[in-house]
Chain A
Amino acid sequence: MDGLKAALVLFVAALLQLSVLTEYRTFRTASIVLVALLSIALLRGSVFGAVAGFMTGLLLDTATLGTLGITSLLLTLGGFWIGRYGETTARDRFHAPYVSVAVVTALYLFGQLVLQFMLGEPAPAGLVAHGVPGALLLNLILTLPVYALIRRLFPPLELGDRVREVRLLG
């Protein structure tokens, strides 16, 4: 059930991203897909986050006719990493979604740059560095409503469901 809900949420987010947000220059650097994915990963764990990231990346690459796999790779790693953070130290922390979005937004942009460079395509680092503050700000603004909505759709799991390796003494 969670998988179906996540697929629907990320599909709608991708459509919003592709058809609405990118029409405005101001919002072009924002990524509602990234924010939604990280919110889901934070609430549902690393494996869920990685699989959701891979599928979302594939969807975006297909829709934009870009090189398949680039966005998948970045979102898989982002979803996995933030999922692990959610499973371990981020439990019940108010700042967790904001920290996750801020860190992954910057890493995602530079990750894209590195991949483009490795593929021999133009990789203007200055342009990306210039866009990072705007992207951070917009994504952090988006985090508030998006995380609230996703938290309603994906209520936090019980501790025992999330933590499988750490056993508490006593």
Chain B
Amino acid sequence: MPRNRTVRLAVLGSSVQRAAPSGFPSSRSSAVKRRIIVGFLVLLSLVLITVSFRSSALDGVQGAGATVLRPFEVAADRIARPFADTIGWFRGLVDAKSENEKLRAQNEALRRQLILDEGAIQENVQLRKALNFVGPPSVADFAKVHTTVVANSQGALDESVVIGAGTSDGVQVGSVVVEPLGGPDGSGALIGTVDRAFAHESRVTLLTDSESAVTATDVTNPSVIGAVRRGGGSSDVLILDRVSKTPVVRIGDTIVTAGSLGAGPLKSKFPRGIAIGSVSSKSSSDTTLFQNIQLKPLVDFSSIQTVVVLVPKSR
């Protein structure tokens, strides 16, 4: 065995037959095929984005697809529900004792408040009748469509949920969506508005979306008028913006939708009196024209299960 054998000789001098060096037809065709397939898929995606974003031509197909997928989503949710409930039960157990004491105290306060409120309500009804008063539309002027959340928001950028009611149930783009048991009196708390409506499903843009805003007022001080929108960082915090420094806002005050009391010429699509949140902090500085008011939402936007869509009664 000669010791001076080099790597070059080992390769070039090998008797093993190698593939012809003049190109690799199969490899080249494989690479071309691969590029064609990927290029086609990317192009198709771009076409889909363009058509879907610029027109409603694909809405029918998308709505039908979503309807087909819905039973599977509901089934998955039902399978996962016992596990979710178990986790929730254990989580609730941790702070049940302290929460119990807090709720007992709150219950007492609310009982006292209720007695006062009932008298005020009776008086209000009588005065409205006497004056033949016609106020802005309230929640009672709408029919309610109860439905469930089919798909929650996906990721940090998406602040929307898909609900299981659509145009066939009277839901329209712009319909107001509330949580059925939210709010201090259980009459509902604002979640958002419908931004896309299909036959059996709709997409709801949450109040925590950076493009959502609603004219709001303080229940205890109606002279406080501002716009509620998402806070700068976390979706746990909303802010009541554009409130001048004059009216007094107290921590703990409940903020509700103002109806059409905003300064703009357009009517608000939100009925008056839907609870949004309670004031968690407030401050003001010499350099700003408005108060800095932060709200704690009454709805946990991360775990919405059922919703109520307010639709016109005339339908």
Listed in ascending order, the chain A residues whose CB lies under 8 Å from chain B are 11, 15-20, 22-25, 28-29, 31, 46-47, 50-51, 53-54, 57-70, 72-73, 76-77, 80, 109, 112-113, 115-116, 119, 122-124, 126-128, 130-131, 135, 164-165, 167, 169-170
Contacts and interface: CB of A to CB of B under 8 A. Distances in A.
Interface in B112-129: none
Contact of A165 (B24, B37, B48, B303): B24
**Most A CB within 10 A of own CB, among B34, B45, B211:** B45
Nearest to A170: B11
A69 B47 CA distance: 8
A47 B34 CA distance: 6
B52 A22 contact: no
Contacts of A63: 65-66, 69, 73, 151, 162
A130 B233 contact: yes
A126 B234 CA distance: 11
Nearest to B52: A68
B10 interface: yes
Contacts of A165: 24, 27, 30-31
A167 B24 contact: yes
Given A63-B66, A64-B160, A130-B233, 14 more contacts: A15-B72, A18-B73, A19-B151, A20-B76, A20-B77, A28-B156, A29-B156, A62-B62, A65-B162, A66-B203, A68-B48, A68-B49, A113-B157, A122-B209
B152 A23 contact: yes
A132 B181 CA distance: 34
B41 interface: yes
**Most A CB within 10 A of own CB, among B16, B151, B196, B198:** B151
